[in-house]
Structure 1
Amino acid sequence: MNTTQLERIHSGKGFIAALDQSGGSTPKALQQYGIQEDRYSNADQMFEMVHEMRTRIIKSPAFDSEYILGAILFENTMDRTIDGQFTADYLWDKKGIVPFLKVDQGLAELDNGVQLMKPIPGLDELLKRAVERHIFGTKMRSVIKEANPAGIRQVVEQQFELGKQIAAMGLVPIIEPEVDIYSADKAASEKLLKDELIRQLASLDQDVKIMLKLSIPTETNFYSDLMQDPHVIRVVALSGGYSQAEANEKLAQHQGLIASFSRALSQGLTFQQSEDEFNTMLAKSIHDIYEASIQ
């Protein structure tokens, strides 16, 4: 583990940029960027275009370590290069931004009010490649839609089981049990979730470090106690479908909680924009998310 990167993530001012749309979410990301599905005819062309989009974001002068602590990549992006360097190396060497990798393979069907992660075949091999590519940590997502105690326990147990496997490889896992922002019992789900997170944190070996990526909670500063746990490097928030303005407004109400936004970060960016227009839009988004993250 890179101790300089660890300290930056633990105590730095800024937020985590999520650039990890993959699989089924890639066409939506490209569509938001102004590239329709008729512009590409196969997966290779699609991933080439999304890498060009991410490269444009990363190379923008607005994408700066003054505001951004880390960036989450998709496996395909990790294996591609920017100006002759693997993406993770470019992020750290040229930008001073800590690289993470999304490792999950999507969500299983809804059961017990939750969606667990699908099995991740070849996870050990992927983690070994991540270490070779100088990745600092990983991210994996589950979804909670109902305040179902059994389902929420399943989600957290699965997350921590894989998190321990990831930590054993010298990487820092981002545990992401997302509570659906449209859930009718969101606050009740969050209470059950926090209880399970506390239970699992207590079971970790002393030297294991993790991060938590959670929906912006209903109750102000609800996750403050989790931030004090010695295992937890940082607690970050996903935008979860909120618009950028709404996500920023809600995030700013929670001390110590920083953003890890995806759609909210790239909102308003399009393929058709000039470099000046693109960089100006991205700079405003980054500044506004940063300000919400340091309240």
Structure 2
Amino acid sequence: MASVALAGTTLVAKAGVARQGRRRSSVNVNAAAYNGAYAEELVATANKIATPGKGILAMDESNATCGKRLESIGLENTVESRQAYRELLVTTPGLGEYISGAILFEETLFQDTRKGTSMVDELNKNGILPGIKVDKGLHPLANSNGESWCAGLDGLDQRCADYYKQGARFAKWRSVVSIPAGPTAIAVRDCAYGLARYAAIAQNAGLVPIVEPEILLDGEHDIDRTLEVAEMTWAETFKYLADNNVLFEGILLKPSMVTPGAEHKKRSTPDEVASYTLKMLRRRVPPAVPGIMFLSGGQSELESTLNLNAMNQSPNPWHVSFSYARALQNSVLKTWKGEEGNVQIAQEALLKRAKANSQAQLGKYDPAGESSEAAKGMFEKGYTY
């Protein structure tokens, strides 16, 4: 007879007739999800971010990428310029009505505003939970088809502990899968395993992990091929999340919407994108996960909002929402232009986009009154950030 402990329950397995005098052996199988000191807090944090009508502002661009955006409006990429722009975002009055969390770059998490208050305090005053990008970016994956792997696991436990102490309550790790590159099995596996290890480490430090295996928009493939790759990627990701005992109730996902490749000759309607995306999620994502916070991935502001609205026309087992960067900030930058006198109207532009996506999360978005600027695509082939 062998005693097997499984998920807190001891099962006794019959192993045939034992010889007289044979010693009994006990095998302990650790198959329980994380239940450490932060378990209840993780669940509470994830559910707070997944509040009806709210989503995430992704403002975690690296300093280099933030610099490119500042240069697009004629500003030099300096600490002061980045500080001024990110201060504009976090101090927007009333932003917490539509935004429940903001993902920060490390510089911003430890940065003060020009008036001396911390960026973290400004977010908290607005009722917005501070988050932090913890990966160290993409690097060429050896012996692959020109694919990438994501660095950042070394020292992650200590960094997460420091981020929690500074006020962060959730984290983000972005890895990518390229459809034109195959994708190869080794690239998908590396993406999934890295995300799972990060998620386990983040939870042990009190940070809700956002799990983001982005299926890149690059390519000429149709929507069915995207669905196939997305299902394969998420199946692999949840396998490794389970293997690493990650608490599903204490995570959030940041998937790509299921769309055709950006260079495919036929564009999909919002209803088609919603149908394919929800089909993928229902096949792969457990209902224990509180929130699905979509990335925009280079879609226009209008397209990303319309697609999100279409997904919320029927009930879902999760909070289906947004974690947008360019699709929330594009109009803001163009309105601000780096001029102090434009701060208020730039913040109003941010509120307009945040409110539109809040309404889309509730399935109540009306595109009437949207400008032609909001419909302009933002896809960049080979985009890095």
Give TM-score, length-normalised by structure 1. 0.87
1:73 to 104, 107, 119: 104
Q: Secondary structure at the match of 1:215?
A: coil
Structure 1, gaps ≥5 residues long: 41-45
The answer on whether the counterparts of 1:149 and 1:192 sit within 8 Å (CA) in structure 2 is no
How many angstroms apart in 1 are the aligned matches of 2:122 and 2:53? 21
Give the deviation of 1:173 after TM superposition: 1.0
Give the deviation of 1:71 after TM superposition: 0.4
* Corresponding residue number in structure 2 for 1:87: 119
Give the deviation of 1:228 after TM superposition: 4.0
How many angstroms apart in 2 are the aligned matches of 1:72 and 1:108? 22
Matched letter for residue 233 of structure 2: L
Matched letter for residue 288 of structure 1: A
* Corresponding residue number in structure 2 for 1:137: 170
The answer on whether the counterparts of 2:58 and 2:102 sit within 8 Å (CA) in structure 1 is yes
Give the deviation of 1:257 after TM superposition: 2.1
Query: What do the CA deviations read for 1:192-216 (whole angstroms, capped 9, x no partner)?
Result: 1121133234334374622111111
How many angstroms apart in 1 are the aligned matches of 2:171 and 2:47? 17
Matched letter for residue 192 of structure 2: V
Does residue 250 (structure 1) correspond to residue 307 (structure 2)? The answer is yes
Matched letter for residue 154 of structure 1: D
Quick one: structure 1 residues 152 and 112, their matched pair in 2 at CA, closer, same or farther if it must change by over 3 Å? farther
Matched letter for residue 197 of structure 2: E
How many angstroms apart in 1 are the aligned matches of 2:229 and 2:242? 20
Give the deviation of 1:59 after TM superposition: 1.0
1:277 to 327, 341, 345: 345
Give the deviation of 1:227 after TM superposition: 5.4
Residues 28-47 of structure 1: pairs in structure 2 closer than 5 A: 28-32=68-72, 34-36=73-75, 39-40=76-77, 46-47=78-79
Matched letter for residue 27 of structure 1: G
The answer on whether the counterparts of 2:51 and 2:100 sit within 8 Å (CA) in structure 1 is no
What do you get for the CA RMSD once the two structures are aligned?
2.3
Quick one: structure 1 residues 121 and 254, their matched pair in 2 at CA, closer, same or farther if it must change by over 3 Å? same
Q: Secondary structure at the match of 1:76?
A: helix
Bigger drift between 264-273 and 220-229 goes to: 220-229
* Corresponding residue number in structure 2 for 1:294: 362
The answer on whether the counterparts of 1:91 and 1:97 sit within 8 Å (CA) in structure 2 is yes
* Corresponding residue number in structure 2 for 1:48: 80
Residues 38-187 of structure 1: pairs in structure 2 closer than 5 A: 39-40=76-77, 46-62=78-94, 64-82=95-113, 83-92=115-124, 94-109=125-140, 111-112=144-145, 114-146=147-179, 147-183=183-219, 184=221, 185-187=225-227
Matched letter for residue 91 of structure 2: K
How many angstroms apart in 2 are the aligned matches of 1:6 and 1:170? 11
Q: Secondary structure at the match of 1:205?
A: coil
The answer on whether the counterparts of 2:292 and 2:320 sit within 8 Å (CA) in structure 1 is yes
Give TM-score, length-normalised by structure 2. 0.68
The answer on whether the counterparts of 2:60 and 2:104 sit within 8 Å (CA) in structure 1 is yes
The answer on whether the counterparts of 1:60 and 1:279 sit within 8 Å (CA) in structure 2 is yes
Bigger drift between 139-148 and 80-89 goes to: 80-89
Matched letter for residue 300 of structure 2: S
Q: Secondary structure at the match of 1:214?
A: coil
How many angstroms apart in 1 are the aligned matches of 2:247 and 2:234? 21
The answer on whether the counterparts of 1:9 and 1:233 sit within 8 Å (CA) in structure 2 is no
Q: What's the % identity of the aligned pairs? A: 26
How many angstroms apart in 1 are the aligned matches of 2:204 and 2:154? 17
Give the deviation of 1:151 after TM superposition: 1.7
The answer on whether the counterparts of 2:52 and 2:361 sit within 8 Å (CA) in structure 1 is no
How many angstroms apart in 2 are the aligned matches of 1:204 and 1:121? 17
Structure 2, gaps ≥5 residues long: 1-37, 260-275, 313-318, 364-385
Quick one: structure 1 residues 18 and 215, their matched pair in 2 at CA, closer, same or farther if it must change by over 3 Å? same
How many angstroms apart in 2 are the aligned matches of 1:127 and 1:252? 34
Higher relative contact order (CA 8 A, sep 6+): 1
Bigger drift between 160-169 and 267-276 goes to: 267-276
2:254 to 195, 213, 218: 213
How many angstroms apart in 1 are the aligned matches of 2:51 and 2:218? 32
Matched letter for residue 80 of structure 1: Q
Bigger drift between 247-256 and 281-290 goes to: 247-256
* Corresponding residue number in structure 2 for 1:43: none
Give the deviation of 1:67 after TM superposition: 0.5
Query: What do the CA deviations read for 1:31-88 (whole angstroms, capped 9, x no partner)?
Result: 34x134xx35xxxxx23211210111111225x2211010000000001123434322
Bigger drift between 73-82 and 208-217 goes to: 208-217
How many angstroms apart in 2 are the aligned matches of 1:13 and 1:251? 12
